[in-house]
Structure 1
Amino acid sequence: MPMQDGPTRSNSIRTLKTAGPLGLGICVVLCLLANIAYFSAATKAEIDKSGVTVTALFFGNIFGSVAEHVLSVFINVITVPLAVAPRPQPQQESQLHGQTQASSSQTQHTTTSTSTTPPASGTDTTAANEAVNRTRG
């Protein structure tokens, strides 16, 4: 159903004009308060020599060493799988977009440019980057 002009549309625009800056302001204030809390719970020297994340050090100073270890383990459990997750290769991405791997390999064989030198200034670099990526493929 198309959006109609009238009170509904004007209210949503007014709401977005208010909610956007308000939400951004709230996020900035909360980040500043988090940084103030970190530095009030630990000195810069403690942060430098601790060997743990600032959040874990904060939890350790406020709630005790058990909380520091629990938070360190939690952060590692969240971070490590994201860091080692397999990333799709260019051929896998082309399959996601409905192209077959055979057409991708044909494109690789028909590419004649293997130069990795940048194009002259003022030219479109997108086509050159795509050609280099295909030859590396």
Structure 2
Amino acid sequence: IRYLIFDALTMLLLHVFSTGEPEFRYVAGAHGNEVLGRELILLLMQFMCQEYLAGNPRIVHLIEDTRIHLLPSVNPDGYDKAYKAGSELGGWSLGRWTQDGIDINNNFPDLNSLLWESEDQKKSKRKVPVPNHHIPIPDW
């Protein structure tokens, strides 16, 4: 992998080599009563398995060279509660929270702010000033 870093005076070409496989994660179902994301991830799993077994070179390469994390339901107890009640009796909020009363969608830890604020306030101890984020998150 090559990155081009430059400012008005200098240009630096970095060759970066990382160990291990590339990795990605798809999660859905933070609200148990919202099933579309869950179903799409299940269909993605089925598609990837079928195409792998059929020998699709792109899918074979993806599966063999990438760590893939697919989690169809972050809130399985909420899904179970909404599923048992059925769509006619569920209402908009049934299954939205976990058994412990937590709305997972609004209770994710904010791990990004710590890194971004550290970089923005020039507290980063890196010798080469490489940003740890490339797409700014809007303040709104």
Larger helix proportion, structure 1 or 2?
1
Structure 1 or 2, whichever has the larger Rg, is 1
TM-score by length of 2: 0.23
TM-score by length of 1: 0.23
* Larger relative contact order (CA 8 Å, sep ≥ 6): 2
Larger strand proportion, structure 1 or 2?
2
